[in-house]
Structure 1
Amino acid sequence: MEFANENNLIIANSLFQHHTRRLYTWTSPGRKYRNQIDYILVKSRWRTSILNAHTLPGACCGSDHELLITKLRLKLRAARSPTKQKRLEVMDTERFATVFEQGWAEWTDINQSKATPDLLWNKAKHLIQSAVAESKPPIEMRKRQHWMSDSTLALVEERRHKKAQGVHANELNKLSATIQTSCRRDYNSHLQGICKEVEKHATKHESRDLYHKIRVITKSLPSKTWANENDMNEVLTDLEDILERWKSYCQSLFQDPQSQNFPDTEPNSENLEPNILLSEVRAAIKHLKNGKATGGDAIPIETIKALGEKGIHMFHTICNKIWQTGIWPSDWTHTIFVPLQKKALLRNVTITVLLLLFHTLAKLYCTF
């Protein structure tokens, strides 16, 4: 049980209720004692794939152990690997500001009086994305763990060169042992740093950063299930049917039987209110919260704030154009829904997180 708990495993043949003759796995000489000493261990994230587990007492396998079998459900369909969209965050603020000012001429060359909201937004989006891409530092091509120090990486490169030169195996083994010791030291230092950050976040009640650090340490991946139910309480397992069910459900949320459809009318210049003030746009950008999810453009709030005064003028022009024409940019009319499946077993999220934090800190304390 301790081995299964430490390695996040489940015992498959202890999950189902069967008759006693289908539970024991070993019979003593003389058939006096019958015990369950053989087990099938499976990762916890694949718990839903196990359909049944029992023994076959009638099978003749030439042993005093009973034949233990498990029935699994395999998804033969190719797993979908959606591409994760990266946030266009600013790494170097000074470099970003310089690159953005260099490309500011592309924005000023637009005839803003005749341009459409879509044209203005696409130009602004391209300018921001290109500035973020050029301001980021070059990506290191060598594969390395993020916790590995430069000295350890130098030892790895040294071993690679010596192996290419055909050095004796004993020398390579000594160097490999040194590399393993250095890697353990670097990884332990990395974990100690994360534990200190967890304590600091817990003291300051920074829940978002606290949960993120706990996920980094535990590396827990919850099991995913695509099953869903339709209006007739029928279980849907096909991915296309599930997507269609989510589509119809989201559409039903926006349907109002008492609503009335009014004909589209163009804005009348005589009835329009004054344009949006620059101070209003500045105050709106200032009060936006950081750390929020991005849209399809992958531009976070932090990047918009890093644009400075010129970025405020840019969004002021776009907002006034929308106000005057009554037309939204197409990117601003798209909404991304992320369905979050509720779990009936997790009644108290706070207690679960605290237990996970306590278990992680205790495990790291024992390791150090």
Structure 2
Amino acid sequence: MLGDFNGWVGVKRDGYEGVLGTFGDERVNDNGRSLLEVCLEWNLCVANTMFDHKKIHLYTRDEGESRSMIDFVIVDERLRKKVLDTRAYRGVGLDTDHFLVIARMRGLFKRWRHRVPQPTSVLDRIKVENLQEKEKKDEYVEKLKESFKGIEEIGVIEDLWETFKKGVVNVAIEVCGVAKRRKGRKNDNVWMDKDVQKVVQEKKKAWLDWLATKANQKVQKATDDEIKEARTKYKRLKTAAKEIVSRKKEERKDDFDRRLTEDFQSNIKFFWKTIKTARGKTSTSELSTIRSQDGSIIKGEECVLKRWKEYFESLFEREEVQVQHLPPSTETNINVDKNEISMDEIVKALKSMRLGKAAGYDRITVEMLKAGQGLVASQLYHLFNLCWRNGQVP
């Protein structure tokens, strides 16, 4: 512990032999006695009192005519032998009446230099944005049901939390996948699905077949009809590839516009990321089109600005959070206690949480909790009330 404790600890060591040294100011006050009691309880020692220095190097504050020793470096008694020196340094140029106090220690970080590198797989970001797709969300809920089988029978808080955490994270990784860290800008062609890839591969194969047929004509192994047939097949597949790519891009754009207009309040991070992408690298880039409230496309600078004004004004008109109750079959298994956390409180808290926030050490994000719907809420109800009854925090 470091800092100004406003306490005089003295040098009387009766009962505090493991806490105090023999050097320092002899004065003692109430703050000093309280500090000594804390150090005695937690096996700490005041490093300033262990070394013999001149008085000017012991006192840590100079108020003109009076001086005091109230700024301390307090260490664990197991580190006592590692402290080489502790003293005040005058004339450092600090704009205060306190002096700089420095403690020199040895070997404290020696082992840290030879740490075994930890795998970086835990740093990979789970692509929770995929949970916005209905198919992924339904798959996520079904696999959560399998993962949570028998979890209600767990009565130990730590085991219950570990089971819940691993179930949510592992299922999210399996369903959504992880985003590997890459250098440079990522080219995310989300419209390139299996259907597009299949048609593109067929087009490439037809192109190679046409080239091979023309090459065989030179050695009189291919006729004009065969070349014409190969050329017609390639053109047909080329047209089909253009059509499916155009359709997939349009579908992606419509989905993109829908998410931009619907998810602003719940996922503000996605909104501003979209705006940044639309602006590009230059300050002159702009969004030239936007959708109206009924979904139609609006063009023209004046109409677009008017629509943005209406949209931002509507953001201040927030509706009250509607609490979603669990199905009757789920609620009947829960014994309601007026002193415990209610299911309504948990669901209301989940609804008010914003998306797009970074995950903590447990790797659980708000998207995972909300996608789990009543299934996750019921497990949180069980976990929180188990903590409530035992007076513990997982």
TM-score (norm. length: structure 1) = 0.37
| TM-score normalised by length of structure 2 | 0.35
Structure 1 or 2, whichever has the larger Rg, is: 2
